[in-house]
A and B are shown apart, each in its own frame.
Chain A
Amino acid sequence: MIDGDGFPGGPILRLDGAEDPREARPRSRAAALLIAAAIAAVVAGVAVAVLASGTGYVYGGLPPAGASESAEPVPGEPSAQKKALAKLRGENRRLNAALRARAPRGYWVIVDQTQNRIYLKKDGETVLDARCSAGSGMILKEPEGGKGRRWVFDTPRGVFKVRNRVSDPAWKKPDWAFVEEGKPIPRNDADRIEYGTLGEYAFYLGDGYMIHGTLYERLLGRSVTHGCIRVGRDDLRVLWKHVEIGTPVYIY
């Protein structure tokens, strides 16, 4: 037998195959540590999972509202209460009237420009619900050698009023219409006039935007225009019947 005695820290070799107790102790300690670490990791994992399952959003019914920020102190005296009530009721009437005054009356038009729908309303009743075509959102760049202009073909959002309405409208083509077609921009205004393109009727909203007819009814329902709102012939006739100068047009 060769023993490591006398060689502290040196290699230990037991030829009889038995484990040296000095080596077995650290090994079992390491194993125990490993097991403890694994258990701790599992426990921590479970704890995190449990806490995570309780973290996020919990949904329920409508809770009672908290105190209103506009709540004012209530007077205790009956006469003061009466006065406060009268004041509040007067204000309530004024506010309700102001709210009603802002709502459109008579005929008015709504354009849903992303879904290409046009509605004609009378007060709150829907008189017409039709497909239309709004701005394509395309960007047109002038070719090299031009003025370097850039046009964005969006339909604007907001409230507009019909400024003019025209039967058999002529289109005075703007520069972009020539640029897009690869044609030279005419110097003479008369060369810009085109008939038939806008359909039977046009309603002018300002800044060159119109509601008008189209030669391409198959494209209705798609965003294809240069910012105007195109409507099919039959629907345009309904609009012509009811939409006057001053009729509000809400585009969203």
Chain B
Amino acid sequence: MANLGRSGPGGARRAAAAILAVAGALAPQPSMPGGGEDARIEIERLGRENGTLRKYVEMASGKEFYLVLDPDSLSLRLMLRGAVLQDYRVLGVEIGSPRVAFVVRELPEGWRGRTWTSGNLVPPRERERMEVEAPPPTSDPNYEPPPPTIPPTPEELYPVPRRFHVRFAGGLSLEFLRKGEADTAAGRWTRFLEWAGSRWSDLRSALDPSAPDADRVRVRLTLQPRDVDSLYRALPPDTELLILPENR
């Protein structure tokens, strides 16, 4: 039986207010600047805000699913055509820059406020498709087809890796961490292999920024474990991303 009238994952009330909140957050300030410096600041702010709104409207008019990350209000929303499908509460945001031999590379200009496209899970969520050849047709009235097998649950079907990214074309990736995840859940050897694997991929990515899987900027998000799992299991392919800029 369902939960009637209860909040969905991520909080229904926050999801309810999502569009209005974004619109409100992006709404112009009522105060009228006195002119000169104040007016210049206001014009710049509104210019930035409208730029973001244009992208927002563009995404809401498209056919792709999109994520909207607001680092200031700590929310990550999965949306389609202006509808908030899931609202994940972000518990922490960190920005990762590549560095080579202790020299940190600068983040690409305008990484906040631009639209990132073709976001896909790394490692991908694989779906094992069962291929069945139907039995030859029979007109025997007593024939009973074999009972169907009970398929696995989504949790069994899509095990969530301990570390995963959503990588977008152009070199941005979202990296997800579970809050309070106990590292002792895996064996020591497994943890070492995972650490070595991730170090190796980080090294490669930092050393060769032109590689297709290199990250020029990483946004590390800490979420509740169930939200991380839900996002990995549900994220549609080729998702877009908009990271709302500051000083809106």
Contacts and interface: CB of A to CB of B under 8 A. Distances in A.
Nearest to A149: B134
Interface string A76-88: 0010011011001
A248 B83 contact: yes
Given A57-B215, A138-B129, A139-B131, A66 B110 contact: yes
Given A55-B206, A235-B1, A66 B109 contact: yes
Contacts of A12: none
Interface string A20-52: 000000000000000000000000000000011
Nearest to A79: B35
A126 B2 contact: no
B46 A55 contact: no
A139 B136 CA distance: 16
Contact of B12 (A81, A93, A125): A125
A71 B132 contact: no
Contacts of B170: none
B129 A65 contact: no
A141 B48 contact: no
Given A130-B2, A182-B143, A55 B85 contact: no
24 contacts: A55-B202, A59-B94, A61-B95, A65-B111, A85-B33, A95-B50, A99-B22, A108-B83, A112-B85, A114-B233, A124-B15, A128-B2, A128-B5, A136-B151, A138-B130, A143-B135, A143-B137, A180-B134, A180-B145, A182-B145, A183-B143, A223-B157, A232-B1, A232-B2
Interface of B: 1-8, 12-13, 15-20, 22-23, 26-28, 33, 35-36, 39-40, 42-44, 46-51, 53-54, 56-57, 60-61, 63, 65, 71, 78, 80-86, 93-104, 107, 109-114, 125, 127, 129-139, 143, 145, 148, 150-154, 157-158, 199, 202-203, 205-207, 215, 218, 220, 230, 233-234, 236, 245-247
Interface of A: 51-52, 54-72, 74-75, 78, 81-82, 84-85, 88-89, 91-93, 95-96, 98-104, 108, 110, 112, 114-116, 119, 121, 123-131, 136-146, 152, 157-159, 178-185, 219, 221-224, 232, 234-235, 238, 248, 250, 252
